[in-house]
A and B are shown apart, each in its own frame.
Chain A
Amino acid sequence: MLTARGWWFLVLAAALLLLGVLRDLTPFALLGLTLFLWFLLEWLMFAARGHSARQHLRVVRLVVDERGPVDNLWAGRSFEVQIELWRDARPGLPYVKVTDLTPFGVEDVRGTTAADGRLDINRPLSVAYRFRCKAAGEVRFEGVRLDLADFQGFFYWRTFVTAPVVYRVLPVMLETGTPGARAKRHNVLPPPGVHRLRRPGSGSELLDLRDYMPGDPPKTIAWKVSARRDKLITKEFESEVPVRCTLFVDASNSVRLGPIGKNALSRIVEIAAVIAQTNSSNRDLTGLCLFDEAGSRIIKAGRGPRHRGEIMNRLAETATLTPATGSASADRLTPVAYAFAEEAYPQLLRSEINHVPWWMPFWWKVPTYPKRPFSILSYLVRFFLLVIALVPFTVFTFFLILGVEKLHHVFPKFIARPPSLLFTTVLTAAAIVYFLFVFVFMRVLPAVFAPRRRRLLKWRKSLSALLSVRYGLAPGGLALLLEDDEQYTLHVQRFLAEHQIPFPVPLYDSQGRYLFAAPGKIDVLTKALLQAVARGHDNELYVVLADLLELPDRLDPLVRAVRVALGRHHQVVFICPWPPDLPPPRTHERYLVAPWFHGRSQETTSKHVKKKRKPRKMERPQTDEDVYDMLEEMLEDRLHTAYERVQQALTRLGVTVICAASDRSVQVILDRMDRLRVAGIKR
């Protein structure tokens, strides 16, 4: 609370006052007293204001674009944030600095994110700045930081006015190359939103003629044909059904890896959003199924602005998901989380309510599970240290015996020769105290030379208390998070993910297994696909946007489900996300068979083919660059092989597999939709 400037002033005033009073120097005493009294008055006023500062504060936040306030944001567009901090009660605060905590999901911040001045009733402080949304997802504004100071800069107090607001950032509409069938262009074509099914129905196109059966409406009787054949013949019309497209979006841990906006999930969400928007503009029905390892959430196929909005909202929520694993390192997560907590929750880290005992960093050990295996070496080291510790005690005992012998010669009546009862008691007590001290010393010694460990432990205690209260784990939650590394890391990751703070996660566990393959999602996807088939009425299009590259050996259940779907005359398309910095698979263009798109497709792929690869180095890498090259090449080979295997497994069934390396995947889906719409119609 007291700044360095304030300390200097206080020390000088107090020294002057003491000098004047003790040496009877009136001018100095008066000067010191004047300065001291003024300082106390300033402190009193500041403390009184500081205590009431956090109450009766209100943050009003508006995000506006050119047309006014908005509820949802759009990726890639700029918006203006207008913040007003209001104080609803007296006394006013003479100097306040308000700083908005800019969220992580935005970029290109322009303008002022801070404002200072007097904060009084009916006199708010305003901040306004512009930002641009990076990618689809969510943008979370935590609140504003409040710095209070007096005019001299003697006192300083910081707090945070928490006013979390979450805005959804909806995916941007991508250019699909060719416009969809927005209007009926030909009389043969059905109106937008429907397609013809070669089944008897109530459509307008003739399907077949059959004998009249009692109950057929008279208007369906073909009179001319009936007259020619001399019996009643009934006309059968084609069925006109809506085109349904169900999007299966993978939201498992495997696609969440990477920074938000640049990971596979963002790419999948973008594609899904474009398909949904295009379908909606064509009046086609679109359904959504979000699945991960744990389960799936389904939005039934529908159309209309409300339905489209719901799909967009779900997709935006999905885009912000972050990977989480219990194997993450607590030591790597703690500094990130603590730095953020210091910024956004300073009031919950105060030592008055979140106290870290002074001995804790030295004495406390976070238990490791599974416990360390038995090591003879560590026991030998401990035994050796104990033997060394025995030396001073042996010397002490020797001198004690000599001293007692001497005393016995001087006072033979009072002090007996060792070993006596008194001597043995004193020696035992000394031994207990000494070895207790040795034990404490040996335990504390490593921590004395590990300042980082001490600091991390201190931060961990503060964070554990905060997380425990935040997630309702109290009163035992603090101890739980201090003792259990896995629970602690999971809660820290949840905390960071909620606030959209990027954090490091390990890709492999201690035994070298990849942590984010998410094999459980295959079963979930299979179940969801079969459910969709069971519910589906007509020929439908199932678009599966999933990362299957880590699981080419586990596709059997999925293949069976796809067979069932195909057997019911549905169409299935798979879209696999692909790392943006790797060249797409060589077999890519074979499956981009949209005829009007062929030229562009060739151009794009030829660019990748033309990229010269370095010859593979089988010998030992010499430099870091060689290692990176080798790793990149190995990753590329592995992914290409996996992609070929996935393709092999699915294309045998006649299913299209598309690599989502470019916007062409969207085009193929739209092409499929068109083909579904005009199925069986010859132009």
Chain B
Amino acid sequence: MNDAREPGLFDKHSGAFTYVLVCLGGLACLLLGLFQRGAGSWGLLPIVMALVAIVLRWRSGPVLTLLSAVWVLLARGQGLDPFAYLLGLVNEGIYTILFAPFGVTRGQAGYWVNRFPPKDYYSFQALSDPFLCGGMLIYLAGAYRLQAMVVSILPIDPRRREPAAADPNKKVKPALRPVLKQRRSANLVTPREITQLLITAAACTGAALVLWLWLSRHGDHLTQTERFWQLAASSWRAIMLVWLFGIGIIVVAGVLSYFGQGNVPREEAEMFLQDVTWRETIREQRTLMSWLAWARLRRRKREEEP
């Protein structure tokens, strides 16, 4: 068993370097979107986080970057900087747990008092939101593909260990060898897959924008027209979204499963039929077979006896 070696991130001839460039491109778009959303210098927080994660090869890097970007936007939406927002939340938590049960009133001084949330901060902005979404998507895809090359692309199986050393004097028992990390070979990266990624990212961002606009319009419409279920527009959007994705996934999975079953090999089909028969007649088969086994053993015992 062999596996691809860990590639250098900044080796210009390596596919890993290509994805580092993709990540940087995505981060640049993200930064642009954050600046346009008024994140200011705090907009650099997710970027720095992402760069550190790339260099140190953190497996949680993409998740941390996404969360930090969300955090910055949430804080800016409250009119605070992310650090002050964090302290405010801590302050609120302490008050709720320790003081509120005893009837202590909230003091006049606090982090929440001095905030000035910008008006319509969370409304749709045609200039910043596509950059934000597209940039984040490109970065995340690039970062995960990079991880596939430097960490592992297949799930780690503890039964698979590194191959034995060629030197017979350095032989270690298989169970004591390090677990094998199955990486993607860095030389497999092609320009075609980068192009496909960029096109897919643009298409997904565009589709999300269109879908969101459609949902917003229909949500508002349903709020105004529906008399029996008096729900807010956001609730209508959520319901429509769940139905849309739910039905879509069920239909696609059903179609794939149908075509998959049509091409099942003979052995698998036989096993499926056997399993169904067994489940339907489990009780009868069990009785029959246990008596047969018992009878066979008794017969043998009689034969062995003189």
Q: Is B122 a contact of A151 with CB atoms below 8 Å?
A: no
Which one, A16, A54, A154, contacts B70 given CB within 8 A?
A: A16
Is A167 positioned at the interface, with any CB of B under 8 Å from its CB? no
Q: Contact between A34 and B153 (Cβ–Cβ < 8 Å)?
A: no
Q: Which residue of chain A has the shortest Cβ distance to B284 in the bound complex?
A: A479
A469 touching B274, Cβ below 8 Å: yes
Given A5-B144, A27-B37, A118-B188, the answer on whether A22 and B238 have CB atoms closer than 8 Å is: yes
Of listed A9, A12, A483, residue having the most chain B CB within 10 A = A483
Q: How far is the CA of A44 from the CA of B248 in the complex (A)?
A: 11
Bound-state CA distance A4–B270 (Å) is: 33
The answer to the question of B2 belonging to the interface, with a C-beta cut-off of 8 Å to chain A, is yes
**Chain A residue at minimum C-beta to C-beta distance from B147:** A153
CB-defined contacts of B205 to chain A, threshold 8 Å:
34
In the complex where A483-B289, A484-B289 touch, is A34 in contact with B133 (Cβ < 8 A)? yes
Judge whether B268 and A25 touch: CB under 8 Å: no
| Cβ distance B73 to chain A, nearest Cβ, rounded Å | 6
Is the CB–CB distance between B256 and A353 below 8 Å?
no
* Chain B 183-199 interface mask (CB, 8 Å, partner A; 1/0): 01100100001000000
Q: Give the residues from 1 to 40 in chain A that come closer than 8 angstroms, CB to CB, to chain B.
A: 3-5, 8-9, 12, 16-18, 21-31, 33-38, 40
With a cutoff of 8 Å between Cβ atoms, the chain A residues found around residue B215 in the complex are: 21
Residues B204 and A116 in contact, CB atoms below 8 Å apart: no
**Complexed CA–CA distance, A116 and B70 (Å):** 37
Chain A residues in 8 Å Cβ range of B115:
none
Q: Give the complex CA separation of A354 and B215 in angstroms.
A: 43
* Size band of the interface chain B makes with A: 35 or more
Contact A479 B145 (CB under 8 A): no
Among B2, B235, B267, B289, chain A packs the most CB atoms within 10 A around the CB of B289
A465 at the interface (CB under 8 A from B): yes
Does A99 lie at the interface of the complex (its beta carbon under 8 Å from any beta carbon of B)? yes
B1:A37 contact, CB within 8 angstroms: no
> How far is B137's CA from A38's CA once the two chains are assembled, in angstroms?
8
Tell whether, in the assembled complex, residue B4 and residue A116 are in contact, meaning their CB atoms are under 8 Å apart. yes
A34:B136 contact, CB within 8 angstroms: yes
Residues of B within 8 A of A18 (CB): 238
B53 CB-CB contact with A under 8 Å: no
A369 touches B297 (CB 8 A): yes
Known: A114-B3, A151-B193, A465-B274. A21 touches B182 (CB 8 A): no
Residues of chain B within 8 A of A348, CB atoms compared: 267-268, 271
CB closest residue in chain A, given B269: A353
Report whether A27 and B129 are in contact in the complex, using a CB–CB cutoff of 8 Å: yes
List of B residues within 8 angstroms of A378 by Cβ: none
Instruction: Give me 29 A-to-B residue pairs in the complex whose CB atoms sit less than 8 angstroms apart, sorted by A's number.
Output: A12-B67, A16-B66, A16-B70, A21-B234, A25-B122, A27-B129, A28-B70, A28-B73, A34-B133, A34-B136, A38-B137, A51-B259, A51-B260, A94-B193, A95-B153, A97-B153, A97-B154, A97-B182, A113-B1, A113-B2, A348-B267, A352-B272, A469-B271, A474-B271, A475-B277, A476-B285, A478-B285, A480-B292, A483-B290
Using a CB–CB cutoff of 8 Å, the interface residues on chain A facing chain B are 3-5, 8-9, 12, 16-18, 21-31, 33-38, 40-41, 44, 47-48, 51-52, 54-55, 94-95, 97, 99, 110-114, 116-118, 147, 149, 151-154, 156, 347-348, 352-355, 357, 367, 369-371, 465-466, 468-470, 474-480, 482-487
Give me the 6 closest cross-chain CB pairs, A-B, nearest first. A479-B285, A152-B144, A484-B293, A112-B2, A33-B208, A483-B289
